[in-house]
Every structure is written in C-alpha cells, then in structure tokens.
Amino acid sequence: MIRRLTRRTAVGLAMALLMTGFAHAQKVADIKKSGVLKIGAQVAQVPWGFSDKSGKLSGYDIEFAELLAQDLGVKPEFVPVTVANRTAALLTGQVDVLAAVVTILADRQKVVLFSRPYSYLDTVLIGKASLPVMKSYAELKGQRIGVPRGSVQDNAVTKVNTGATIQRFDDDAAAVQALLTGQVDLAGAASTQLGPIAQVAGEGKYDVKLVVSRGYQGVAVRPGEREWVGYINDFIARKIASGELAALYKKWIGLDLGKDLPSAGDTEAALPNFVAK
C-alpha cells in the first residue's frame, strides 16, 4: 500500500487509521485463536534476518520471533519488510508485530507502541580503511553517504548535514552494496554489517569511520494494544531471566546482551544515546 513512509507521514497515517477504526486493538486471544503470528521482519539484514545457504530464514530477529510464537502456541509466519515500508505494514494490519531491527525513538513512539528492548546495536558510518576516522559530523563535508531511508542514520546525517551528499536506499544491505560498488563513500548501517562486508571485500578493507549512536530495539505493535505489548514484555523478561535471550544474542550478534537493557520501550528512558556531534 505504502512503500515509502517517513516518520512524519507515519504519524498522520496512524492518526487516520485510529480515527477510522482500521487499526483496531488486537488482543492476545485473537492471535491464539488465529493459530498464526504474522511477523514483519527484514530478510536481507545479516545477522538479524536472512536466508542461509539452505534457503532457510535465519537470524536473531527470526529466532526471537519463533520463540515468541512458540510461547503463544501458534505458528510463526514471516512477512518481509524494509525500513521504508515496515511501519505501514504494521499499521495497515499486514502483520501483527514488527521484529525488524526497529530502534526505539521518540518520534516513532508517537506512531507505534514498543515493547521493552530485546536487543541493542551501534549505528555507524562505514568506509574504506584508507579514509581517516572522523571525530564529528563536520568532517562529512563533501562525502557521499548512503543510508537506509527513514533510519536512525538517515535522521542523524540529514539533521546535521554539513555539505555531504545523502543517497537513500531501502535497507542497510542496499546502502552497503552502494558502498562496495563505489556509488557512495560512506554507508550508514549497523556495526554488524562489518562482518558481511569483510566476507565480500576482505578483512580490514572497510572499517567504522564514525559512531552515530547506540540504539535499543523493541518489538513494535499498533497503538492502543497495551495487553498485547504487556504479554511481549513479560515474554522478554522471562527470556532474559532464563538466559535464553543472552545466549541467542551471543550466537547471532557476537556480543554480550548485558544486564542494563531498559525495562520499558514506551518512555524516553529507552531512547538511544547519541554520541556523535
């Protein structure tokens, strides 16, 4: 329905849908009765969601969502989404939840309801190793930067643009591909993209040039679905307590999940800490 949706227009869409009753509040019982959990997930975003060598959908978000479906006693059904269209897919009822590397931000909280965080990642600008490491946004002048449309990195470099040329793509993978083919000088992506880049270009050919932020990711549901997000919050808390979530994060992301994840996703306490200036 809507392929490209900025966060500003997403607010308008959410309001319109709520006023018309289209974005009805879904209950846990509804999902259990249907027997299926429809999950919006990125499917070309290593290591969050991707197809492995056998063609099986794998990754951190995928296994997390499978655990959630198992907890509900239903079958997981994955619907591919991108950064550009994931909010529309949720608000128009194409999916029940988003487990799609959705970073919790204040303006996104106006559009969707977030669970407590279940992961974190650093958003960075990646470039050739021959480029100097940058200490501030001011050093981006004259650079060509590829970013996923509507992403944290898009918002950051657009807001403080100091003469850089910004090219927007549908997801991290497309921005990284533009970097590898020389279309851009820097790619805004998750730090986890360094591994796949090294596999293609060779170790040490590309590295982080500027850290944009550390962000926390939450499961997104439609506005007003407090019961549903409450269930997800309880599920995440149980998986943190059991150590299952930490083990899953270590398996796919290669980092320790830590014990200081914010306990809520609908408050400013869960917002990322921007470090670049």
How do the pLDDT tens digits run along the chain, 277 residues long? 333 344 454 445 544 444 434 456 678 999 999 999 999 999 998 899 999 999 999 999 999 999 999 999 999 999 999 988 999 999 999 999 999 999 898 889 999 999 999 999 888 999 999 999 998 888 999 999 999 998 888 988 898 877 899 999 988 889 999 999 999 999 999 888 888 899 899 999 999 999 888 889 999 999 999 999 999 999 999 999 999 999 999 999 988 887 678 888 765 544 544 445 5
Question: Residue 103 and residue 120: Cα distance in Å, rounded?
Answer: 8
Q: What is the pLDDT of residue 276?
A: 52
Instruction: Supply the range of the domain harboring residue 48.
Output: 7-121+216-272
Same domain for 76 and 198?
no
113 part of a folded domain: yes
Q: What is the pLDDT of residue 255?
A: 84
Same domain for 111 and 222?
yes
254 part of a folded domain: yes
Same domain for 13 and 25?
yes
268 part of a folded domain: yes
Same domain for 136 and 247?
no
Same domain for 81 and 116?
yes
Q: What is the pLDDT of residue 2?
A: 36
CA angle (89, 21, 152) in 5-degree steps: 35
Same domain for 32 and 103?
yes
1 part of a folded domain: no
Question: Residue 93 and residue 31: Cα distance in Å, rounded?
Answer: 13
Same domain for 127 and 110?
no
Same domain for 172 and 251?
no
Same domain for 107 and 180?
no
Domain end residue (candidates: 213, 228, 247): 213
84 part of a folded domain: yes
Q: What is the pLDDT of residue 24?
A: 60
Domain end residue (candidates: 183, 198, 213): 213
131 part of a folded domain: yes
Please state the pTM of the whole predicted model: 0.74
Same domain for 115 and 192?
no
Same domain for 98 and 232?
yes
266 part of a folded domain: yes
Same domain for 191 and 232?
no
Question: Residue 243 and residue 164: Cα distance in Å, rounded?
Answer: 43
Q: What is the pLDDT of residue 17?
A: 47
The total number of structural domains that make up the chain: 2
CATH classification at residue 265: 3.40.190.10
